[in-house]
Amino acid sequence: MVKEIEKELEVRGEQRDRLKEEIKELTAKIKDLEQKLAIIAQELGTAKNELEKWNEKRKKYDELTRKLDQLAEGIKAVVREVRRLESELKQAEEAKKRVRELEPEVNKIPLLEEYVKKSNGLNEFVRERDQLNKDLNRISDIRQETKESIESCKDYIETEKVEEVKVEVPEELSAIEKFATKTSTEVRNTIEQINKINRELEELVSKALEVLPEPTVEAKDAKLQELKARKEGIEESISRLKDERGRIRGRISDLRQTLEMLGEADTCPVCKTKLTPEHREKVKNEVREEIELLEGKLKEVKKELEELELQKKKVEIEIDRVSKVEVERIERLKKEIAENKKEVTELYKTLYAITQIVDSLESDIRAKISAVDAKISEIEEILNDLVEKIGYKPEDPEKELKELRKKKEEYDRLKPIADKHDEIKQIFCEEQEKLKVLEAKKERIQKKIKDLGYDEREHEEARKRYEDVLGKFQRTKTELEDKKELLKKSQKNLEKLERKIAELEKDLDKLREELEAILKFIGKLNNIRSAFSRDGVQKLLRQKVAPLMSEFARKYIESFNLDITDISVNEDFYISIIKEGGEISIKSISGGEKVAVAIALRLAIAKALAGKISTIIMDEPTTHLDEERRRELVEIMKSFFKEGAAVPQMIVVTHHRELEEIADTVYQMEKVDGVSRVVEAT
């Protein structure tokens, strides 16, 4: 630290010398710049006076130029107006000439418009007459279609006479046409439906007569009742025979059981009387004969049952055939035919009403045709009169009228222009006189500009001379100010540097005093370090604690019932394991033995340092221990806590539940919804 301050003092001294030299140079430079600035100021005054003269001339020149420009714009505007009026005057003359040419053509437009109007009216009446003739043809077609439909109805109605018809028939021809077509279509569809139903009815009746005397619901019901009664009688006989077959089978079963019971028995299984061999054989033969008789009867019953089942099946087939006869459908079809015929009758009346309406409509149309013919004759006479007035018959009146209307548009457009001809001519003469006055003013202003003698190039050179001198003045002035500022800054830096050097010299003296005191203190510390080295106080502590650790460890290892006879720790904390065969390496003992030794040593350390530690934490101390060793460890720890509680508390982390016996409090790890948590065991 002292050397660093001495080095810094040397650097600061060099900086102070450089600053003093720099201040001297700056003072001389400032004096030169002040003299130079005075000379440039005189040059700047001369250049400024010259520039102000040229600026005054430029002001007058600009004012005259502005007036000249305004006159030029005015002259241009008047010239444009003269040219415009000249063009309009020419257009007015041409329009006046064209209007005189168009007047005769325009006067024909009213006559031709009337001609086109009447011609169009005539065409409308001709088209109306043509349409009425087409309507007559349509009426003829309707009458023919209606007549054919009426003829087709006659085979399906009771009478052709129609006294009074109340049917709503449209009055308009198109609607009548659609109504007639619709009615005729309904007639065809209804007749086709009647024929279709008749074919189905004939087929159903034919099938019904195969199983019934007549195709009626009553005949079907009577036949079904008869067949069901026959079926019930057969089913009663079958039931009776099945009962009899059951009784026979039961009797045969009883007899066979009796036969088995007789066997070599000495007592009758029925009456319990004593049996002789001869009597037993006689009874057996009687039983066998009865069984044979019953089996024959059982075959007869079976044959009768088969015959009855066959008869029953035939009756069921007959019932099914009768059930499938659609007599109800036959009745419905007959009703449908009657309803359809009734509908045909109504349609027949509608067709008759259509013919009456069509006859009336035909009379009306013929009357209209006569009226239209009269109108056509009247219009033709008017058209002939118009042809005489026009002087010719127009080939295409609408096209000619269109062309005349275009000419009328041209006439209407040109007429206002032609009417302004005299007015435009007067204004044109006035504008020409105005143009002459403006041209004279322009010549006077141009003479004043020439007499002024303003030269823009010389004005620009004067401005540049002034700007160059001004720039030189400002640069010199700026340089002078910069040098003065730099001098002021250097002087301040020199003052600061002087103060810093004084502070460093003071700090250096103080550090030298502190260094001397530190060196004395280091000597004392070296003496203390030597006393507390490995071979000093530490060795004395190890010599005192090692025998206690060996004694306690030996005591705890014996509780594990291992073949380890002794365990000792020397002053360098080297562990010795003794077995019956002598001292062995700790690496050669088993995993369980290593755990036991480690626990014994940790307990021994805790015992030796009693009162100096508050807690022992064991993480899986029972790893590699079998069940018996784990129990022994529990006993060791029980006794350890009984002997004066060398360690106030112990925390054990384990998967083996044996250690819960010595625990005051047990905590368990549980996983809830994938998250582990610690809970106190109950």
* Angle between helices 173-209 and 109-153 in degrees, nearest 10: 20
Structure-token match 């044959």, residue found: 303
Read off the pLDDT of each residue in 56-75 and give the average, rounded to a whole number. Answer: 86
Contact 362, 104 (CB under 8 A): no
pLDDT at 605: 80
Query: Among the ranges 14-28, 236-250, 495-509, 597-611, which has the highest mean pLDDT value?
Result: 236-250
What confidence tens digit (pLDDT) does each residue in 271-285 have?
A: 666 767 787 778 788
Alpha carbon distance 116, 401 (integer Å):
8
Distances (CA, A) of 22 to 16, 39, 498, 505: 10, 27, 16, 25
How confident is residue 510, by pLDDT bands cut at 50, 70 and 90? confident
- Range in 177-186, 365-374, 462-471, 548-557 the model is least confident about: 548-557
What does the alpha-carbon distance between residue 12 and residue 2 come to, in Å, rounded to a whole number? 15
For the CA atoms of 409, 412, 416, 422, the dihedral, rounded to the nearest 10 degrees, stands at 100
DSSP conformation letters of 326-343: -HHHHHHHHHHHHHHHHH
Question: For residues 152 and 187, what is the distance between their CA atoms, to the nearest angstrom?
Answer: 8
537-680: CATH, from 3.90.1200.10, 2.40.50.140, 3.40.50.300, 2.60.40.10: 3.40.50.300
The answer on pLDDT for 414 being more than 70 is: yes
CB 71 within 8 A of CB 386: no
Q: What integer best gives the mean pLDDT of the chain?
A: 81
- What count of residues does the chain have? 682
Q: What is the mean pLDDT of residues 364-382?
A: 85
Task: Please name the amino acid found at residue 674.
Answer: G
**If you average pLDDT over residues 215-236, what whole number do you get?**
87
* Structure-block tokens of residue 161: 């006479």
Average pLDDT over residues 450-459: 82
Question: How confident is residue 163, by pLDDT bands cut at 50, 70 and 90?
Answer: low
pLDDT for the residue numbered 576: 86
Supply φ then ψ for residue 453, to 5 degrees. Answer: 70, 30
Average pLDDT over residues 599-615: 72
Tokens of 330: 């036959």
> Could you read off the pLDDT of 273-324 as tens digits, one per residue?
676 778 777 878 888 888 889 888 889 888 988 898 898 898 888 888 888 8
Please name which of 574, 515, 510, 519 lies closest in space to residue 542, comparing C-alpha atoms. 574
Provide the β-strand partners of residue 539: none
Please report the pLDDT score of residue 271 as a whole number. 61
3-state helix, strand, coil in the chain (%, to 5): 80, 5, 15
In this prediction, residue 642 has a pLDDT band, given cuts at 50, 70 and 90, of low
Instruction: Tokens for 606, please give them.
Output: 């805790």
Contact 259, 288 (CB under 8 A): yes
The CA distances from residue 321 to 217, 218, 231, 318, in Å, are 14, 16, 15, 5
- More confident position, 304 or 628: 304
Contacts of 74 (CB under 8 A, 6+ apart): 438
Q: If we measure between CA atoms, which residue out of 259, 261, 268, 253 comes closest to residue 286?
A: 259
DSSP 8-state secondary structure symbol assigned to residue 267: B
Model pLDDT, residue 275: 67
CA–CA gap between residue 636 and residue 247 (Å, rounded): 90
Q: Dig out the tokens for 166 from the structure.
A: 């109340």
Beta carbons within 8 Å of 475's beta carbon, 6+ residues apart:
none
Question: Helix/strand/coil (H, E, C) string of 139-195?
Answer: HHHHHHHHHHHHHHHHHHCCCCCCCCCCCCCCCCHHHHHHHHHHHHHHHHHHHHHHH
- Mean pLDDT across the stretch 167-176? 78
d(CA 269, CA 262): 7
Name the residue ranges covered by the structural domains of the chain: 2-105+422-493, 217-324, 537-680
Does 168 score more than 80 pLDDT?
no
What's the sign of the alpha-carbon dihedral 482, 484, 487, 489? negative
Burial readout 548-583 (b: 16 or more C-beta within 10 A, e: otherwise): bbbebbbbbbebbebebeebbbeeeeebebeeeeee
User: Do 553 and 575 contact (CB within 8 A), yes or no?
Assistant: no
Rounded CA-CA distance 473/42 in Å is: 10
The fold of the 217-324 domain, in CATH, is: Helix Hairpins (1.10.287)
The pLDDT assigned to 514 comes to 77
Closest by CA to 305, choosing from 233, 235, 253, is: 235
pLDDT at site 639: 61
305 within 8 A of 241, measured Cβ to Cβ: yes
**pTM above the 0.85 mark?**
no
User: Per-residue pLDDT averaged across 60-83, rounded?
Assistant: 86
132 phi, psi to nearest 5 deg: -65, -40
Query: Model confidence at 23, in pLDDT bands (50, 70, 90)?
Result: confident
Q: Given this model, what pLDDT does residue 610 score?
A: 65
pLDDT band at 609 (very low <50, low <70, confident <90, very high): confident
Q: What pLDDT digit, counting tens, does each position of 125-148 carry?
A: 888 888 888 888 888 888 888 888
Q: What is the pLDDT of residue 419?
A: 82
Secondary structure element (H or E) that encloses residue 595, with its range: helix 591-608
Most confident of 29-33, 224-228, 525-529, 590-594: 224-228
Say what the pLDDT of residue 160 is: 61
Residue 167's pLDDT band, with cuts at 50, 70 and 90, is low
Residue 1 pLDDT grade (very low, low, confident, very high; cuts 50, 70, 90): low
Percentage of residues in the chain having pLDDT higher than 70: 92
What is the per-residue pLDDT for 101?
A: 82
Residue 265 contacts residue 335 (beta carbons within 8 Å): no
- pLDDT tens-place string over residues 323-343: 888 888 888 888 888 888 888
For the ranges 220-229, 538-547, 579-588, 638-647, which has the lowest average pLDDT?
638-647
Tell me: pLDDT of 629 over 80.
no
Q: Positive or negative, the Cα torsion across 15, 18, 24, 25?
A: negative
